[in-house]
Amino acid sequence: MTDAAPPAASPFSAPPPDGREVLDPGDVARALTRIAHEILERNKGAGDLVLLGIPSRGVPLAHRIADRIRAVEDVAVPVGALDVTMYRDDLRRHPARAPHPTEVPPGGVDGRTVVLVDDVLYSGRTVRAALDALNDLGRPAVVRLAVLVDRGHRELPIRADHVGKNLPSATVERVMVRLAGPDGPDGVEGVWIA
């Protein structure tokens, strides 16, 4: 007999029949507000900041963080979109992904503090692709990463600087982020996929 520790608790550790809400609209709003404040603190203000959202949900999230920064500092931080489709390392396995437009704000990224924004951080492969995509746009002074949810299970040495919520999860789960507008009310759901 062994004294093995029980597996780490997961917020959705039993197979939920229809998914389980792990963040509600208020949780999402508070997480985005905190991320905006953290970005400002770390950058000592909004100077030279550029937010680049990774499609699809990273783009509206970047705009929402920028709205919060404007409310605090009265500065309109440039926001753009960074498509990573052609930089993915699984392109051969999943060639049918539709690219989204990359939109670089006027002023570009050279010498700026670029904050990449995405909804979920999991293996880290999307962020790896984003760093390659960014490299083709210019040379930022600093690149940081903000995510609404970090669910662990990294496959690459990548970490986020600003995390809305750390959600322990099992690999047989999928974390689904819903954003007000296209997806209904804001929320984060854990869905059992095995």
Ligand X SMILES: O=c1cc[nH]c(=O)[nH]1
**What number of CA atoms fall less than 13 Å from residue 160's CA on the CB side?**
28
Decide: 76 and 66 in contact? Cβ < 8 Å.
Answer: yes
Binder among 46, 120, 129, 188 for ligand X (CB under 6 A): 120
Site string for ligand PRP, 50-89 (x = CB under 6 A): ----x-xx--------------------------------
DSSP lists the bridge partners of residue 114 as 50, 143
Q: Which residues 159-188 are close enough to bind ligand X by CB under 6 A?
A: 174-175
Asked if 144 is part of the footprint of ligand X (rule: CB under 6 A), the reply reads no
Which residues have a Cβ under 8 Å from the Cβ of 189 and sit 6 or more positions away?
19, 20, 21, 22, 175, 176, 178
Spatial separation of the C-alpha atoms in residues 47 and 193, rounded to whole Å: 43
Site string for ligand PRP, 95-134 (x = CB under 6 A): -----------------------xxxxxxxxx--------
Q: Between 13 and 123, whose beta carbon lies closer to ligand PRP?
A: 123
